[in-house]
Amino acid sequence: MKIAVVGATGLVGSVMLKVLQERGFGNQEIIPAASSKSEGKKIAFSGRELEVVSVEDAVKQHCDYAIFSAGSKVSKEYAPEFAAVGTTVIDNSSCWRMDQTIPLVVPEINIDAVQDNDRIIANPNCSTIQMVLALAPLHRQYGIKRLVISTYQSVTGTGVKAVKQLQTEEANAVHANDNSDVQYPIFDVEMAYPYQIYRNVLPHGGDFLDNDYTTEEMKLVNETRKILSDANIKITATVARVPVTGGHSESVNAEFEKPFEMDEVRRLLSSFPGIILLDNPEANEYPMPILSEGKDGVFVGRLRRDDSTDNALNMWIVSDNLRKGAATNAVQIMQKLIERRNGQMQ
């Protein structure tokens, strides 16, 4: 099997390579592809070195699968070229998500949305993936009427530049507060955000739209409806960026069509694939980014009934946005398709 990783030198691309190794693809032929500035670079993978090639060269190699994490512009240009030579593309950008001809997939929920002749499959936004995984079993049982969402998103969701901004601002603060005689340099900060992120919270994720919401907020609205196959769910969202690197956190208030019992909610969540129920507030056990970092699970806790209205539930959802929110979900889609095709061949 031949698998291309497009955007292999980026933050998500490097995690994709790691997840491929962890999930048994270490012996397969992996083609790392990136922009011209990274072409020829060597990447360690499963005990060997891989040479980064151009995206054009990767297309010519007629891969079985191509996993993209290189931005919408690259996806729009090259995903159709891969598809035209028979490669199945799993794209992590926002380029194809709301195209009604392209399946938008979280494999535990809707892998059946992928048809055998689909050659481009969209990976949802990181904050959407973890939320819908927690909501799907409850929606099936009770029917979601309305969602009120507030997210607290890691700087890793913005990329390497944002991580460096946080690290540099933190280093500058440490040096500025040091009272010793040693003179430390003050580092220049390349800004990924319009303001400092260290010791700050920015109510701003993505670009502002004409409706005063941001692109990140509208992704939560539109992608959730598509994945859960329900255009009638009322959804409002606020996205905030926080000085954290371990994962995204979300406060979700869900109002249902039908009444529920808390014990049944916990049973549905704890038995759903990919969910780790961590809900013991008396022992201070609840989801946090520091617990989710490097893991593939979606952690759910702080479950409690919203007594201010009928049939409503509060929940706190945390997941590593680079793994289940991006790389792991994409690799899982590929795994499910391989299983399906192997089953058809038998």
Tokens of 98: 């709301």
d(CA 84, CA 104): 20
The answer to whether residue 248 is catalytic is yes
**Average predicted confidence (pLDDT) for the chain:** 95
d(CA 136, CA 269): 9
Among residues 63, 95, 126, 139, which one is catalytic?
126
d(CA 218, CA 262): 30
Among residues 63, 95, 139, 248, which one is catalytic?
248
pLDDT for res 173: 85
Strands 144-153 and 48-51: unpaired
pLDDT for res 180: 54
pLDDT for res 344: 75
Domain boundaries, the chain: 2-124+326-345, 128-162+190-321
Read off the pLDDT of each residue in 7-29 and give the average, rounded to a whole number.
97
Read off the pLDDT of each residue in 142-160 and give the average, rounded to a whole number.
97
Which tens digit of pLDDT belongs to each residue from 211-243? 999 999 999 999 999 999 999 999 999 999 999
CATH, range 2-124+326-345: 3.40.50.720
Is the pTM above the cut of 0.85?
yes
Least confident of 50-64, 106-120, 168-182, 281-295: 168-182
Which tens digit of pLDDT belongs to each residue from 176-199? 766 555 555 567 788 999 999 999
The residues, any chain, with a CB within 8 Å of residue 207's CB and separated by 6 or more, are 214, 215
pLDDT for res 178: 62
The answer to whether residue 126 is catalytic is yes
What sign for the dihedral angle of Cα 102, 107, 110, 116? positive
Alpha helix segments (H runs only) across 201-311: 215-227, 262-270, 289-292
Least confident of 75-79, 128-132, 190-194: 190-194
d(CA 296, CA 328): 7
Of residues 98 and 173, more confidence is placed in 98
- Is the pLDDT score of 254 beyond 70? yes
- Is the pLDDT score of 150 beyond 60? yes
- Identical fold at 2-124+326-345 and 128-162+190-321? no
**Is the domain 128-162+190-321 a CATH 3.30.360.10 member?**
yes
- Cα 60 vs. chain centroid, distance in angstroms? 29
